[in-house]
Amino acid sequence: MTKKKRKSKVKEIILKGIPAAPGVITGKAYLLFDEEYPVPQRKKVSEHFIEKEILRFKQALAKARSEILSIQHRIAEEMGMDKARIFWAHLMVLEDEILIGEVIANLRKEKLTVEYIFWEVLEKYVKVLSKSEDEYLRERVSDINDVGKRVLNNLVGTKQKTLENIKDKVIVIAYDLSPSDTATMHRKNVMAFATDIGGRTSHTAIMAKSLEIPAVVGLESITSKAENGSKLIVDGSRGIVIVNPKPETLKKYRLQKKRFETFEKHLIKLKNLPAVTSDGKKIALAANIELPNDVPSVLAHGAKGIGLYRTEYFYMNRKDLPSEKEQYEAYKVVAERIAPHPVVIRTLDLGGDKFLSQFELPREMNPFLGWRAIRFCLARPDIFKAQLRPILKASVHGNLKIMYPMISGIEELRQANAILKDVKKELKKKNIPFDKEIEVGAMIEVPSAALTSDVLAREADFFSIGTNDLIQYALAVDRVNEKIAYLYEPAHPAVLRLIKTIIDNAHRERIWVGMCGEMAGDIVLTMILLGLGLDEFSTSPIIVPEVKRIIRLVRYQEARKIAEKALTLSTGKEVEDFAKARLKKLIPGVILEKRKK
């Protein structure tokens, strides 16, 4: 929250980060948290004015409340209720009695202006929460920052700099982006974004792809290297941001941008063509969605189905749980719009880097290894059933499938299925129709599940490999930590071996296997995955055409040989170099992203 000193720099600076969403853009920087942030002066007020200060504080809170409600209303109208819900968390901060009480008590004690006291209290909260081991508490920092800024601006009388008020086309630069930032950022004027922190599979990066603007995360120092108005190039495909580019660099990137646009136009022409290899092997090519609003993009990019519907976004940033009716409506709409193609609904995957404001979760040292996903749902069958019921009810409107996240062994699959059976019984009793043959699959994203996939395959209808988590668990690399991003290697031999084990075990039991982690959209590895026998690829909608292009160009028999060879290599780098060389042979001039920093 404190101001950052920035020196004026005109030198070209090249920063390497993590590619979050593809595309190349040139434009002017817009720093989200810059000098305009009001840090109040430390000023005394006389005893006589204390009550007036309290009144001023209450008025500023009320004004912030009405501002947030009106943004929420506008976002709900323009982008749907799902995205508007994130503002509940902000309203909760405004109503936090402990925080408000502390400001008033300190004000009476210290007799300083209310803006200064409020700022002091906020700073204290932010400091304590940022250091917390608890991911949930750390995530509250961005809510406090958002709301704090709004209230301070009301107290000091300055106009807040937010993404809603942007008048020109800009590239947004920030330390990190809060959910409300990304929601309000879906505007014509935000051309790209670049942030200091974040990993390639953090939900911020995943959100960037669904917004369909180029983005680079994990740049570490972009907020101190760029100034407001600095000229920038954001290369979201390679994970590069250039500050103050030289004329020759600009020229080079203009050409690259043109190439990328032509490439996109060319790819979209593949929209109605099947995903079939040149020697006739059909592959299912689906897309991942976070919200029902993402469906048009799925259709526009020619995906044939949804391989992962991350339902937890439904539960995020709201005070209450979604009602069964609300859920039913959402699942029904998605099922109908995608029919006859399948929609894999993943049941609530709370935890890791996805925390829900309505649950008082215990503090955990390692949230990714903690009480999350199916573990939480099995412990809270009331919440689990309240999701399974609307999924089943909506199943008559299309081709729905159910998938459980974070299954680590057969017992969890059995327990989840027993709960599902109860719900089916209940619906049958009430004569409520549902698809009796609905397929039920397991996400394979925990090494123990991969290694016992022979057992799981006997009792699951399908598998979907969640590589985002599988890689972090197999290689012991936190998926959202940019400091160790170089160790997060999808091409690591250990990962390839696990994937091969999963696919072989599934096929032995004659069930299909998809992949819905970000690796499914990593075009360097498409031929290897194809050759390992993957039946379905599910990626962000914008990546679907790129994967389809490769599938349509390669011979399946060739892909099998490529996979076989890849399995003999010793390091991730060897696999990657080999895969890149084969891809360049298949598509000379292909644009490849930089994986490591």
Residue numbers at the binding site for ligand PEP (CB under 6 A): 201, 308, 310, 349, 445, 466-469, 516-517
Nearer to Mg ion, 162 or 387 (CB): 387
* Residue 82 touches Mg ion, criterion: CB under 5 A: no
Q: Among ligand PEP, Mg ion, none, what binds residue 72 when CB lies within 5 to 8 Å by partner kind?
A: none
Least distance (Å) between residue 597 CB and Mg ion: 23
Least distance (Å) between residue 465 CB and ligand PEP: 7
Residue among 301, 377, 492, 516 flagged as catalytic: 516
Which tokens go with 381? 């069958």
Q: Among ligand PEP, Mg ion, none, what binds residue 235 when CB lies within 5 to 8 Å by partner kind?
A: none
Q: Could you identify the residue written with the tokens 């409506």?
A: 329
Q: Among Mg ion, ligand PEP, none, what binds residue 435 when CB lies within 5 to 8 Å by partner kind?
A: none
CA 449 – CA 284 distance, rounded (Å): 23
Q: Has 397 been annotated as catalytic?
A: no
Residues 416-455 that bind Mg ion (CB under 5 A): 445
Q: How far is CA 338 from CA 188, 302, 305, 347, in A?
A: 27, 11, 6, 19
Q: CB 468: neighbour CB atoms within 10 A?
A: 25
Which DSSP string corresponds to 35-80?
A: TTS------B--GGGHHHHHHHHHHHHHHHHHHHHHHHHHHHHHH-
Nearer to Mg ion, 203 or 389 (CB): 203
Q: Among Mg ion, ligand PEP, none, what binds residue 308 when CB lies within 5 to 8 Å by partner kind?
A: ligand PEP
Burial of residue 97 (number of CB atoms within 10 Å: 0-12, 13-18, 19+): exposed
Distance in angstroms between the alpha carbons of the first and the last residue of the chain: 28
Cα four-point dihedral sign 193, 196, 200, 203: negative
Least distance (Å) between residue 468 CB and ligand PEP: 3
Could you check whether the bond before residue 433 is cis, i.e. omega within 30 degrees of 0? no
Nearer to ligand PEP, 146 or 469 (CB): 469
Among 280, 340, 349, residue whose Cα is nearest residue 313: 349
Least distance (Å) between residue 478 CB and Mg ion: 13
CA dihedral 9, 14, 15, 16 (to 10 degrees): 180
* Residue 290 touches Mg ion, criterion: CB under 5 A: no
Least distance (Å) between residue 467 CB and ligand PEP: 5
Q: Among Mg ion, ligand PEP, none, what binds residue 538 when CB lies within 5 to 8 Å by partner kind?
A: none
Least distance (Å) between residue 325 CB and ligand PEP: 25
For 75-94, letters b (16+ CB in 10 Å) and e give beeeeebbbbbbbbbbbbbb
* Residue 469 touches Mg ion, criterion: CB under 5 A: yes
For 492-509, letters b (16+ CB in 10 Å) and e give bbebbebbbbbbebbeee
> CA neighbours within 13 Å on the CB side: how many for 118?
28
Residue among 90, 203, 397, 492 flagged as catalytic: 203
Nearer to Mg ion, 143 or 445 (CB): 445
Q: Among Mg ion, ligand PEP, none, what binds residue 522 when CB lies within 5 to 8 Å by partner kind?
A: none
Q: Has 377 been annotated as catalytic?
A: no
Nearer to ligand PEP, 67 or 522 (CB): 522
Catalytic residues: 203, 516
Q: Which residues bind Mg ion (CB under 5 A)?
A: 445, 466, 469
